[in-house]
Structure 1
């Protein structure tokens, strides 16, 4: 009986230790403010603006004007929480996909601040927009 009790205590200790270890690996620090590498930044922001333009009902395309903030979190890939300023271009959505279109000025000028959660597995060039919220600048 005493040996069985010790075995149960030992099993409980091993289980608690394993749970603590797994919690350590799965409980990463959460989002941290870190600069993106140039390659990850270009790929992530290009994906974001294409996704935004595909979802938008605006006649004109938008482009990223300024990266304001980047936070990242490691999961099964990399999650980026990015805040960007985007602006309306002079290019119409069904005429071109050119990312270097000039920005609108005067009457049709429009800028937005967007906060987006983008999941990426950069080593296989996979991106997914999980959440996006844009407000007039």
Structure 2
């Protein structure tokens, strides 16, 4: 009986997923540790992948959305700026660089797909330069 019920639920889930039904994004709670982790992960990955010599950080969260998709997809619209800390430095308290030519604060979008129960996360979009 349980197997039949599970098969029915899976069939309904697959039918809804393949029907093209719109997915629903909701506002993410920035005090939620999973949301904070996703944003920190995205910024860390951005800093690893960027070719610049300065570490960037979020100066403002403009919006944070989440959507359940075999995990959670977080969409962050943030303002990012370069700090006074160079990549590879051991500094932890990096403030926005006082030189606006270096700081170059810009609005960008970061999308992270996460399955925290499996310890998996991936940045699927990063529009920050």
Q: CA deviation at 1:114?
A: 1.5
Question: Map of 1:8-87 to 2, 5 A cutoff?
Answer: 22-24=14-16, 29-36=22-29, 37-87=31-81
TM-score by length of 1: 0.72
34-43 or 20-29: bigger deviation: 20-29
Between the two proteins, the alignment pairs up a number of residues equal to 117
Q: CA deviation at 1:28?
A: 6.3
Q: CA deviation at 1:68?
A: 1.0
Tell me: CA distance 1:28–1:111, structure 2 relative to 1, closer, same or farther (3 Å).
same
Pairwise CA RMSD: 2.4
Whose Rg is larger? 1
Structure 1 unpaired stretches of 5+: 1-17
Structure 2 unpaired stretches of 5+: 1-9
Q: Please state if 1:108 is matched with 2:92.
A: no
TM-score by length of 2: 0.76
Q: CA deviation at 1:23?
A: 2.2
